[in-house]
Amino acid sequence: MKNNLFLFTTLLIISISLLSCKQKGCQPFYEYDEIEWYNFKRNLDSIPPDLQNNKFLVDVFQGQTFLKIKDVDKLVNLSSNDFNKSTISTLKNDKLNKLFCFDENQSINGFMTACIPFYNDILVFKKENKIVGIAKICFKCEQSTFTESDINTDAFGAKDEFKKLKNILYSK
């Protein structure tokens, strides 16, 4: 009888503990309703000679600009001669939401590659026409930077997320 009571009490405590532990799930990097996508028209791995004197573009490719949301006024300097600009279809938001989030229940640490990133792709996250974040992506090196997110973005890419993102962005 004592064993049954002990077993019942133990199971009850464990059940209550498990039920009271709420898993946060996937926390989004940004709350957004629109994403603008700027991608460089030429697929490059390094600064070509014809652009080496363009300090602004060199800074964009090397990740020295768009470090803060206030840098968005520089978006107008992304020439239509060099960059394609488009708005990502909201039909892709469900897939993108699964990528642009941090899941603390999956303990994946960030990683670095030996490659020097060349950021050809820039994503501008907006909520009600207000910019809430910027992501710079280098698909070749599988590196990214996210501006001013309150959520840990360091592990982005650890689960083939760069491949998934590239498929989402470049599919019709």
Residue with tokens 């964009």: 60
Please indicate, yes or no, whether the overall pTM of this predicted structure exceeds 0.85.
no
Helices and strands (DSSP H and E) totals, the chain: 4, 7
Does residue 34 or residue 158 have the better pLDDT? 34
The most confident of 16-20, 77-81, 128-132, by mean pLDDT: 128-132
Query: Does the structure show a pLDDT above 90 at 38?
Result: yes
Is 143 within 8 Å of 113 (Cβ atoms)? yes
Domain ranges of the chain: 25-170
Query: Does the structure show a pLDDT above 70 at 123?
Result: yes
- Residue-level pLDDT at 56: 86
Q: What angle do CA 106, 167, 116 make, to 5 degrees?
A: 75
